[in-house]
Amino acid sequence: MNETIFSLLAKKHEKDVFVPECKNGPTWTSRNLLIMDAWVMRKSWQHPLVTVYEIKNSRQDFTQDQKWPGYLKYCNEFYFACPQGLIQPNELSAEVGLYWASKNMKKLYLKKKAAHRRIEIPTELYIYIIMCRAKIDNEIMINKSSKAYWEQWLKNKQIDREFGYHLRGKIADRIDEEILNVRKENTRLAEQISRFERIERVLEQLGLDITKDSRFYIENKIRNLPSSQAVLQSIDGLMTDLARLKKEIEKEGEKINIAK
């Protein structure tokens, strides 16, 4: 029955980009791999609507499925598709839509419209579709003299070009975002390093070496200093912070060089 509903969906979207059993990334690198029954993108540069379908053919499959909320980040609209009456509209949240197949399994009809969500589809999904699912036509075009053939060829070239612009823009935005995040993290680490160095200088003036002296020894020596209570309050948790800072600096040290 799944195959019949799947065929109806494929027919409904025969003019769109239709990707059956679409993964959210390559199998060999994705830790949280998801497989959508059907991922669809309308061929429109201005409005490239992305829709995901999850097909259900039994109540148990529907009630026990906990994976589908993860599909929402990969589409503007999400629908369940099932035999008539299997899922009721009032069982679904406001953002989820529903298609029923007719009793004779000859057509689909909309039972509940999905809410349209304006989201940025993760770039990794587009890369997966292009690298793992798209088939590039390498045919050498000879003896293709009909007007209809060349009109269709030009139309397909325009669609491919628009999709390429769209994808390149998303990849560039993602790279800029990652660079900005790294710079912010480097600024934070630089501030921590500066604080670490100031603390280290203060301890050295007190005759303490944080690389050799134990925490117990340092705390005892501080307690015996004049105004020890004020000193202890000002450096409360100092040794814990120092240990954490050293680990973060060792782990993130390479990122500091990138920011420079």
Domain boundaries, the chain: 2-133, 173-259
pLDDT of residue 226: 63
Residue 89 has pLDDT above 90, yes or no: yes
**pLDDT for 190:** 77
Selected residue with higher pLDDT from 74 and 236:
74
Band of residue 241 on the pLDDT scale cut at 50, 70, 90: low
What are 83's strand-pairing partners? 101
Q: Is the pLDDT of residue 101 over 90?
A: yes
In tens, the pLDDT along 27-72 reads 765 567 899 999 999 988 888 899 999 999 999 999 999 999 999 9
Question: How does pLDDT run across 113-133, given as a tens digit for each residue?
Answer: 999 999 988 888 888 888 888
Distance CA 99, CA 79 (A): 7
Q: Check: CB of residue 119 under 8 Å from CB of residue 137.
A: no
| pLDDT at site 1 | 46
Q: Which residue has the tokens 């949240």?
A: 93
Contact assessment for residue 186 and residue 255, using Cβ atoms and an 8 Å cutoff:
yes
- The residue among 129, 163, 175 whose CA lies nearest residue 26 is 129
Q: Exposure of 55 by Cβ count < 10 A (0-12 exposed, 13-18 middle, 19+ buried)?
A: buried
Mean pLDDT, all residues of the chain? 79
Q: In this model, does residue 231 exceed pLDDT 60?
A: no
